Structure 1
């Protein structure tokens, strides 16, 4: 078992992985870090937790689009990112309202 140090949202993490998967882990960590930076740029000052939350939402949005046959170009601009974050924020707010109504 290997350990790789990665940096995401300006914070370093030691992450374990199988031997031989170190480079793959570094590559996927770099993707998450870029999304966290994109979220911070598009939305301004965010806490680390919210920055990682929006990074994961952006990645999930890309996965969903890809599965629907609409892959997102990797070099899309921050305008698309801001639009995606706004759309995702609306979905999260609607879900929270539904959950509050059920409580």
Structure 2
């Protein structure tokens, strides 16, 4: 088992991964880091949990757009096009935001 040190949103993390997967993990962490920094620059000073929440939402939005573009080109419909899935995703986002509120110290996201 390998160990990789990553930096996401200005914070360092050490994660374990399978041998040989270090480069891939660094690569995907770099994508998340870019989105976390994008969220922070667009929305101001965010706590760590909110910064990662917004980074996740930005990535999910991009993925949904890419899948939607594929469906328009003759691909199959995506779950994001289903109103029930959209409602479930909204509920999940609300839950993640509540968790972020609990994790952040009072006044950290003002």
* CA distance in 2 between partners of 1:4 and 1:66 (Å): 29
**1:41 — aligned with what?**
41
Specify every segment of 5 or more residues in structure 1 that has no aligned partner in the other structure, as ranges: 71-90, 97-103
Matched, 1:66 2:69: no
Provide runs of 4+ in structure 1 moved above 2 Å: none
Specify every segment of 5 or more residues in structure 2 that has no aligned partner in the other structure, as ranges: 71-88, 95-110
Q: TM-score, normalised by structure 2?
A: 0.62
Matched, 1:30 2:30: yes
**1:2 — aligned with what?**
2
**1:55 — aligned with what?**
55
Count of matched residue positions in the alignment of Structure 1 and Structure 2 = 75
* CA distance in 1 between partners of 2:31 and 2:8 (Å): 9
The structure whose Rg is larger is: 2
Aligned-residue Cα RMSD (Å) equals 2.0
Give the CA deviation at 1:92.
5.1
